[in-house]
Chains A and B, each alone.
Chain A
Amino acid sequence: MLRGLLRLILRSAWQHRLRSGLTVLGMVVAILAFGLLGTVVDAWYAGAEGAAANRLITRSAISLVFPLPLTYRERIRAVEGVRGLSWANWFGGIYKEPKNFFAQFAVDAESYLRLYPEFVVGEAPMRDFLRDRKGCLVGRKLADTHGFRVGDTLTLKGTIYPGNWDFVVRGIYDGARKGTDQSQMFFHWDYLNEVLRQRLPGRADNVGVFIVDVEDAGRVAAVSQAIDREFANSRAETLTETEKAFALGFVAMTEAIVVAIRIVSYLVIFIILAVMANTMAMSARERTAEYATLRALGFAPAFVAALICGESLLLALGGGLAGILLTFPVAAAFAARMGTLFPVFNVSGATVLLQFGCALTVGIAAALLPMRRVTRLSVVDGLRAVA
């Protein structure tokens, strides 16, 4: 019985090869688009995903644009529960053209890399980097995008810090995990500060953010409050939050875009649902006489309904699976095209599950109307029907 059903389903899908083929193709495109959009949304959240639970970010309470004095270093270190400390300044330089955007940080190298073990650097390049005042480290993905090699000089045009700045690539770091951002550049905060002291003494000895390593991840809330209390009512009040909250703050600022992408990704599912439902309605209408014959032969209405549902699922899942498989190479190609704009761009397991779920839902939903019609069909009317 079941084998007969399967054979009938395959036969009826095969009978209209062109229509079935087109429907499957539409399904492939829709599921592929859905998967890519889901991956784009994931990429938005990548920074928050990679955050460690015991790292805090301390910045000016007014906004990130305002620096903190370097002297806060000792006072933060003295706060109970703080194990390590580093600091960084956003550099915001332009490499050749604004469209080549990538993140550049002036960091206190030794302490910074100790706090971020996910940036993996070999021993020799690390030594070279620490020794060279004008040296820098670049991520693997960044190096691949712009063809940076160890020993190259790269020039950045400063937007926040005026002038042209030359750096020598001393090492390329890899990510400890797949989700680690490998498109950043780090150089010595001391170098930035020295130049500022000569050229713009008013802006020297300033820090963009402090990164605080907390001994016990369970006490981050208490420690961050203690830090902010330390500087309350001072010249530069601070705002300390976990690295994750800090990253999510950035996501929230562009939330409208994320929401729009989410809505659009579900629209594509509705578009393909309309196409699938149309195909199934046609298929069922043409076979009304066939279905009536089956019923007259004694097959239960449920059998006929299963026939329709089966065909719909066959087309939907066939297209869906092909779409899922295609998502991986297409996402890889897309990531290569976008370069460092999306530092992390990986298709997640959740996305694949959602894609499968959508294909399944479309398959069942498209068959509902024809199924209802066929189970209510009177055999006599059906036999009389001409497609």
Chain B
Amino acid sequence: MLLSYSLRNLWARRLSTALTAGGMALVVFVFAAVLMLEQGLRETLVDTGQPDNVVVIRKGSETEVQSIVERSQAALIESLPEVARGAGATPLVSKETVVLITLSKRTGDKPANVIIRGVGAAGIPLRPQLKITDGRMFRAGSGEIVVGSSIARRFQGMGLGEAVRFGGREWRVVGVFDAGRSGFDSEIWGDVEQLLQTFRRNAFSSVVFRLADAAQFAEARRRLDGDPRLTLEAKPERSFYADQSAMLANFIRILGLSLSVIFSVGAVIGATITMYAAVASRTAEIGTLRALGFRRSTVLLAFLVESLLLSLLGGLVGLAAASLMQRVTISTMNWQSFAELAFSFRLTPEIATETLLFALAMGLVGGFLPAARAARLNIVSALRES
């Protein structure tokens, strides 16, 4: 009964209800979008790593681009007993070179840094999430490259069959791959020896290997740390990529949440104004209710419910709008790797719950003072008002 009373009240002042709920919906939209973006970024980078893969880079260099691993050091890693072996007992180790090249986007001709990764024969089996969707894999020892799906879409000369020039030679795109929405979707892959030659390097950037048993990571790391010839550090691939998302994710979170808090002040004020007006215009009605024997607490509850319903409406509209954002992909430079990274908004049940709770909290804060005023009204003087 309480619910239908509150609902009918909201319907009676449609314009006010719509405006207030609309303001709240915008705030909720910003709040949800920020959480979804952060989630999308984290998932993208965490999913890039495989649980039993290990990345080895030079100590102190935070990213693969800055790292240097000499050939002799790479050979030592290859001989670790913890390394898994594939067909024919070849170790599952990929010695890779990772550099940035500047490419122009298809729209607006704007430059962006893109990761180009040279991988060894084991590079592909080490990343089972990577599937060629168009064309074929590059041939070892050739000037062929394959590109991630978001690179093919966004950059000039990166479509299947197109060619691009860098490092003094032509490179033909022979395949487009999908890496399950992970960070590899924003990379270009080619043959490691060809790329090393082109960039006139003789050392690798990183070495990636599969553990025979995921539990042996500590063992492998101890062995690497103990060898004085190696100034390297090993990290599980998952946490290596998760660390790279930390700075951008924090930035999005802090900026977004402080904005949500500031904006929510506006929405709470809107709710308070609406609810005060609702109380003022129904003073006689409240007096009647009280005279009929309804308690102060019931009146308080009735107005709180009305305010909560208002905010729930705003919350649902805002959340619905935010869920449409899942189709949008954001592409920006990740400061830590200094390279372009594409990621999208992801809605999870936790985010939906958090968002609705946030909306209800706004309704509660905005409705409390007006509801308290309604509950404190004196029966006699309230009845006299018309």
- Which of A157, A257, A264 counts the most chain B CB atoms within 10 A? A264
Quick one: which of A26, A257, A264 contacts B30, CB cutoff 8 A?
A264
Considering residues A252, A260, A275, A279, which has the most beta carbons from chain B within 10 angstroms of its beta carbon?
Answer: A275
Q: Is A71 part of the binding interface, using a Cβ–Cβ cutoff of 8 Å?
A: no
Interface residues in B31-72 (C-beta closer than 8 Å to A): 58-63, 65-66
| Residues from chain A with Cβ under 8 Å of B332 in the complex | 253-257
A387 interfacial by beta-carbon distance below 8 Å? yes
Q: Which residues of A contact B196 (CB under 8 A)?
A: none
Known: A249-B111, A252-B112. A271 touches B267 (CB 8 A): yes
A64 contact set on B, CB distance < 8 A: 100, 102, 113
Task: Contacts A66-B199, A254-B333, A256-B331 given; indicate if A274 touches B60 (C-beta within 8 A).
Answer: no
Q: What are the 7 closest A-B residue pairs judged by CB atoms, nearest first?
A: A274-B23, A253-B333, A256-B332, A275-B270, A278-B19, A26-B269, A252-B110
The complex places the Cα of A98 from the Cα of B63 at a distance, in Å, of 13
Chain A residues within an 8 Å CB radius of B111: 249, 252-253
B101 at the A interface (CB under 8 A): yes
CA gap between A334 and B113 in the complex, in Å = 30
CB distance from A204 to the nearest CB of B (A): 14
* Given known A-B contacts A268-B263, A278-B20, A62 and B101 have beta carbons under 8 A apart: yes
Binary flags per residue of B110-132, CB closer than 8 Å to A gives 1, else 0: 11110000000000000000000
Bound Cα distance from A204 to B102, whole angstroms: 24
**Do A65 and B269 have beta carbons less than 8 Å apart?**
no
A6 CB, nearest partner CB in chain B, Å: 24
In the complex, A98 Cα to B336 Cα: how many Å?
10
- How many A-B Cβ pairs are below 8 Å? 145
Indicate whether B84 reaches chain A with its CB closer than 8 angstroms: no
CB proximity of B358 to chain A, nearest CB, Å = 15
Complex contact A19–B113 (CB within 8 A): no
Residues of A within 8 A of B (CB-CB), count: 52
Q: Are A162 and B269 in contact (CB under 8 A)?
A: no
Point out residues on B near A: beta carbons under 8 Å: 15-16, 19-20, 22-23, 26-27, 29-30, 58-63, 65-66, 99-102, 108, 110-113, 166-168, 199-200, 231, 247, 255, 259, 262-263, 265-267, 269-270, 272-274, 276-277, 281, 330-333, 338, 340
Q: Are A62 and B166 in contact (CB under 8 A)?
A: yes
Report the separation of the CA atoms of residues A158 and B68 in the bound assembly, to the nearest whole angstrom.
13
Q: CA separation between A29 and B267, bound complex, in Å? A: 11
Cβ contact within 8 Å between B100 and A26: no
Cβ contact within 8 Å between A26 and B340: no
How far, in Å, is A98 (CB) from chain B's closest CB?
7
A231 to chain B, nearest CB (A): 11
Having A162-B60, A275-B266, one finds 12 other A-B pairs with CB under 8 Å, namely A19-B276, A26-B266, A62-B199, A63-B102, A63-B113, A64-B113, A66-B199, A235-B168, A253-B332, A254-B332, A271-B267, A387-B281
A65 closest partner in B (C-beta): B100
Q: Are B99 and A66 in contact (CB-based, < 8 A)?
A: yes
From A275, which residue of chain B is reached at the shortest CB distance? B270
Among residues 13 to 66 in chain A, which have CB atoms less than 8 Å away from a CB atom of chain B? Answer: 18-19, 22-23, 25-26, 29-30, 32-33, 37, 61-66
- Contact of A275 with B269 in the complex, beta carbons under 8 Å: yes
Q: In the complex, A104 Cα to B25 Cα: how many Å? A: 44
A256 touches B330 (CB 8 A): yes
A277 x B19 contact (CB < 8 A): yes
CA distance A387 to B280 in the complex (A): 10
* Most chain A CB within a 10 A radius of its CB, from B20, B22, B273, B281: B273
Chain A residue nearest to B243 (CB atoms) is A98
- Which residues of chain A from 271 to 304 have any CB-CB distance to chain B below 8 Å in the complex? 271-272, 274-275, 277-279, 281-282
**CB of A203 to closest CB in B, whole Å:** 9
CB <8 Å contact, A23 and B101: no
Residue A153 at the chain B interface, CB threshold 8 Å: no
Q: Which residue of the partner chain, among B20, B255, B272, B340, contacts A22 with CB atoms under 8 Å?
A: B272
Chain B contacts for A198, CB-based, 8 A: none
